[in-house]
Structure 1
Amino acid sequence: MGALRARDIPNLITLLRIALVLPVVWALLRERYPLALWLFAVAGISDGLDGFLAKHFHWTSRLGAILDPIADKLLLVSCYLCLGWLEVLPLWLVGVVLGRDLFILAGATAYHFLIGHYDPAPTWISKTNTFAQIVLVIVVVLQQAAEPFSTHFVLWLIYTVLATTVTSGVDYVWTWGRMAWVNRS
């Protein structure tokens, strides 16, 4: 195993973000919402920092391209599962969010084995969906910690996440289905 190089820093930060998943889950399940919010914020800052370092210093890597979205999904899905378990988020929304991710994972796996190599690149609707999911987690955790938001606003966010989740799922099916059709022919 080689010595640590500066270009490895973004991947190490991503691994730190993965390591933060369990403390976030613990804090949520113990209903220690302020702690969960701080840990979630540290994870978010680390996501921005590793991305900045990788792009600014050209320290990108195939491993980082794989680990970064895994870290993001682990954190978000874990938060949704915990908040659903605690009945802070509706279980049907948790099911839709989880179902979309599993469907995309199954499609990517099938594409890889049936068609060939692919480079996952999030679309604008997928990025919008991720942003909406993050905002909803932050708002409902803040709601549990201090109740600063109206029920109507939280409900609006829930339906926004539903709409962006379904739309991005359909977009992935359309985009990757079309690419599979073209590449298979």
Structure 2
Amino acid sequence: MATAKQWNLPNKISLGRLCICGLFVGDVSLPWAYSATTALLLFAVGSLTDWVDGWVARRHNLVSDLGKLLDPLADKILICAAFLVLLERGVVPLWAVVVIMAREFLVTGLRALTAARGAVLAAASSGKWKTLAQMLYVLLMLTQMALAEIGGGGKEGAGRLLEAPATALLWLAVGITFASGVLYFYRCRALVFSGEGTEKGGEKDLERQPYSSGSGNRMARP
């Protein structure tokens, strides 16, 4: 159970990002004229808080165990919610959403398994690039939807200019997502199949040098 000390400012910001996820889903679920525009603003703010909470934690030495759990959890929920919304709107292919969400469930499961066996699965730097590519893709698609919503001709005008970079970002995001998922499974293969890592030293076998990503509220982004 989190203590009052654990609920510091960075963790409150991460919790706020979870609240933004709820507002984001609620907004796109309502049939009103500017849902895409509002969704774009909410997602942009949520993405920004991912950097802010880490900066505050790093600058004021407020990194906590709760933050290492809450921060990446908020990231995963925000990203998964956004891709499900884009899937429902028909602007992202199903296969891409399946790859992205399967990877998130895989890594979450591996982290739970390693923790249960007394080991630590430190995050890899590929997680930073994965999340960055995913967020940029979502921002581009929401921008295209907002342009069409506001101007009526966004898809034929300015919105069309975003299609090529958005497609490139999608392939990049899916590629990094898949590769990082394979990397995590490879690092945990001995633990998964033989139960190693519960003995002293097992933790060291799974750890990598912590990577300080844009959000320093945890050791690195998973």
Q: TM-score, normalised by structure 2?
A: 0.73
Higher mean C-alpha displacement, 173-182 vs 21-30: 173-182
Task: Tell me if the contact between 2:96 and 2:174 (Cα under 8 Å) persists in the aligned partners.
Answer: yes
Task: Tell me if the contact between 2:137 and 2:170 (Cα under 8 Å) persists in the aligned partners.
Answer: yes
> Among 45, 68, 71, which residue is 1:68 paired with?
71
Distance 1:35 1:41 in 2: 10
Provide, for residues 75-121 of structure 1, a one-character-per-residue CA deviation record: whole Å limited to 9, x for no partner: 111111111111111111111101111111222222233x3242x53
Give the 3 Å change call, closer, same or farther, for CA 6–161 of structure 1 in structure 2.
closer
**Which one has a larger percent helix, Structure 1 or Structure 2?**
1
Counterpart for residue 81 of structure 1: 84
Instruction: In structure 1, list runs of 5 or more residues that go unmatched.
Output: none
Distance 1:4 1:99 in 2: 34
Task: Tell me if the contact between 2:13 and 2:49 (Cα under 8 Å) persists in the aligned partners.
Answer: yes
In the TM superposition, residue 152 of structure 1 has moved relative to its aligned partner by 2.8
Counterpart for residue 16 of structure 1: 16
Task: Give the structure with higher Rg (CA).
Answer: 2
Task: Tell me if the contact between 2:119 and 2:198 (Cα under 8 Å) persists in the aligned partners.
Answer: no
In the TM superposition, residue 26 of structure 1 has moved relative to its aligned partner by 2.2
Distance 1:170 1:104 in 2: 10
Correspondences of 1:141-180 after superposition (within 5 Å): 141-146=142-147, 147=159, 149-177=161-189
The residue matched to 1:183 in structure 2 has which SS? coil
Which AA in structure 2 matches 1:165? T
1:91 aligns with 2:105: no
Q: TM-score, normalised by structure 1?
A: 0.86
In the TM superposition, residue 150 of structure 1 has moved relative to its aligned partner by 4.1
Distance 1:95 1:131 in 2: 18
Higher mean C-alpha displacement, 170-179 vs 159-168: 170-179
Counterpart for residue 50 of structure 2: 47
Q: CA RMSD in A?
A: 2.4
Counterpart for residue 214 of structure 2: none
Quick one: higher RCO (CA 8 Å, sep 6+), 1 or 2? 2
Which AA in structure 1 matches 2:130? N
> Among 109, 115, 118, which residue is 1:116 paired with?
118
Distance 1:20 1:88 in 2: 22
Which AA in structure 1 matches 2:171? Y
Higher mean C-alpha displacement, 24-33 vs 140-149: 24-33
Counterpart for residue 127 of structure 2: 126
Counterpart for residue 26 of structure 1: 26
In the TM superposition, residue 175 of structure 1 has moved relative to its aligned partner by 2.0
The residue matched to 1:73 in structure 2 has which SS? helix
In the TM superposition, residue 63 of structure 1 has moved relative to its aligned partner by 0.6
Distance 1:89 1:36 in 2: 16
**Number of aligned pairs?**
181
